[in-house]
């Protein structure tokens, strides 16, 4: 585990972890991988609910999705950081595998398949090749799809391996995703700030003054000081038309001298700047 979490708030009191539910989702799977099974995992309906639970200290940490290598950034998670003072304390990189679950013994018996729109999209080629005439029905989550398929004949669900175990619906076909490099990145949010490890990443949000070359001028100090930017994403500020904020990840810790210097230069060109957190850099799950 890359960050030292306070596994026990007291000698025998486990952490409470909020995740985007219900149980069996990939966010649940990511939370289990990061914290182990000794914690209390509490399902939340929305990313906003997770932020609120952590802010009100009803839970110790929250786990939220931030980006997928196939589908891109999760915009509503970025938007929540604009309103919140919570810190990013860790990241989780999880390889996403999709499974066809059904109580039927053969895919030839399946007439309908339920799943979340993203899961259906990420398995489209496989579905066209193997179940071309099957009806595809979208659900709010892969877990709700599994629950539906468990109750109905001639149906299947695309879901996670953990959902098969939790809801006792057999796996009919393994790893049906179209692309093997399908990775979702999750963030752990909390109220503490991890110390520097030497292999860290920092996330920031800022908005810039409306003038020619403002974005170039803002980011140039990072190039000048040899700081590698790993993500740059723009989002409407929702305050004025055509006004944007920028979400940036870069390698380094906010307490490093060169990072502090770059942030000071950046702030000169900003309307506002918020450091969301510095946290250990995680390698892709093996």
What domains are defined for the chain?
16-96+182-190 (3.40.190.10), 99-173 (3.40.190.10), 200-280 (3.30.70.260)
User: How do residues 80-92 score in pLDDT, each as one tens digit?
Assistant: 998 899 999 999 9
Q: Are 87 and 3 in contact (CB under 8 A)?
A: no
Dist CA 91 CA 281 (whole Å): 7
Total-model pTM? 0.86
Dist CA 67 CA 75 (whole Å): 9
> Burial level of 256, CB count in 10 A (0-12/13-18/19+)?
middle
Residue 171's pLDDT is what? 97
- Pinpoint the alpha helices (H) of 47-123: 47-55, 75-83, 117-122
Average pLDDT over residues 184-195: 94
Dist CA 278 CA 270 (whole Å): 20
Residue 6's pLDDT is what? 54
Residue 3's pLDDT is what? 46
Query: Which band of pLDDT confidence, cut at 50, 70 and 90, is reported for residue 73?
Result: confident
Residue 74's pLDDT is what? 85
User: DSSP string of 111-175?
Assistant: -EEEE-HHHHHHTHHHHHHH-TTSEEEE-SSHHHHHHHHHHSTTEEEEE-HHHHHHHT--EEES-
């Amino acid at each position: 585990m890359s960050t030292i979490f306070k596994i026990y708030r007291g000698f025998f009191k486990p952490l409470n972890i909020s995740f985007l539910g219900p149980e069996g989702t990939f966010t649940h799977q990511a939370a289990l991988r990061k914290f182990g099974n000794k914690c209390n995992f509490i399902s939340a309906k929305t990313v906003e609910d997770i932020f609120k639970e952590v802010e009100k200290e009803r839970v110790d940490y929250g786990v939220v999705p931030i980006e997928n290598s196939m589908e891109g950034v999760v915009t509503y998670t970025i938007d929540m950081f604009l309103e919140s003072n919570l810190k990013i304390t860790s990241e989780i990189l999880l390889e996403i595998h999709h499974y066809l679950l059904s109580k039927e013994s053969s895919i030839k018996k399946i007439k309908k398949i339920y799943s979340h729109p993203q899961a259906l999209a990420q398995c489209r080629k496989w579905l066209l090749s193997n179940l071309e005439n099957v009806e595809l029905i979208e659900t709010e989550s892969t877990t709700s799809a599994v629950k539906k398929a468990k109750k109905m004949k001639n149906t299947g669900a695309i879901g996670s391996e953990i959902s098969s175990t939790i809801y006792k619906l057999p796996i009919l076909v393994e790893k049906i995703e179209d692309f093997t490099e399908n990775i979702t990145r999750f963030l752990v949010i909390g109220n503490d700030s991890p110390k520097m490890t030497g292999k860290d990443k920092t996330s920031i949000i800022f908005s810039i003054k409306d003038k020619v070359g403002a974005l170039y001028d803002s980011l140039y100090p990072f190039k000048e000081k040899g700081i590698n930017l790993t993500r740059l994403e723009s989002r409407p500020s929702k305050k004025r038309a055509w006004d944007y904020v920028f979400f940036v990840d870069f390698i380094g810790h906010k307490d490093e001298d060169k990072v502090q210097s770059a942030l000071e230069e950046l702030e000169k060109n900003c309307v506002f700047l918020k450091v969301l957190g510095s946290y250990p850099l995680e390698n892709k799950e093996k």
